[in-house]
Amino acid sequence: MENMNEKYREKNPFTVPDGYFDRLTERIMELTESKKEIHKSNLLQVFRPYIGIVAMFVVMMGGMYMLVPIAMERGEDLLNDTIVQGTSEEEILADDIFDSGFNPTNDEIIEYLAIEIDNYELILADVY
């Protein structure tokens, strides 16, 4: 490797052709002037991304327009089946899934939690 360093230390291996820098600016200007083309964008190219977004929403709304009535009909059918089985619509709506008369005291809540929840769950809940 030392032979290579000694061989090229005195001589620069990179050369430039004769007269390269004489007309460099003129050649660059000629190339840029010949490539000056005004690119006019038409309306379709400008609005193409927006057209895609609008099309996506139209497809989604069309799907919803078709699927929601079907789901509503199925829900009405289920409600009608329940009414036919002997439960009226008023009874279904009047059913209270929560016992509004149940009002436990703090001691009852603590006792319930002590029985139902183990220490590991309390540690995970960062309470214990």
Residue range 114-124, pLDDT digits in tens: 788 777 777 77
CA angle at residue 51 from 50 to 53, to 5 degrees? 65
Query: In terms of pLDDT, which residue wins out, 69 or 87?
Result: 69
What average pLDDT does the segment 5-16 reach? 70
Give the C-alpha separation, 128 to 111, whole Å. 15
Q: Supply the pLDDT for residue 36.
A: 65
Average pLDDT over every residue of 69-74: 78
Q: Is the pLDDT of residue 107 over 70?
A: yes
Predicted TM-score of the model (pTM): 0.32
pLDDT greater at residue 102 or residue 93: 102
Residue 51 pLDDT level (bands cut at 50, 70, 90) = very high
Which residue, chain included where needed, has tokens 């190339």?
A: 31
Q: What CA–CA distances, in Å, run from 9 to 12, 17, 69?
A: 7, 21, 86
Lowest-confidence segment of 93-97, 100-104, 118-122 by average pLDDT: 93-97
Percent of the chain with pLDDT over 90: 12
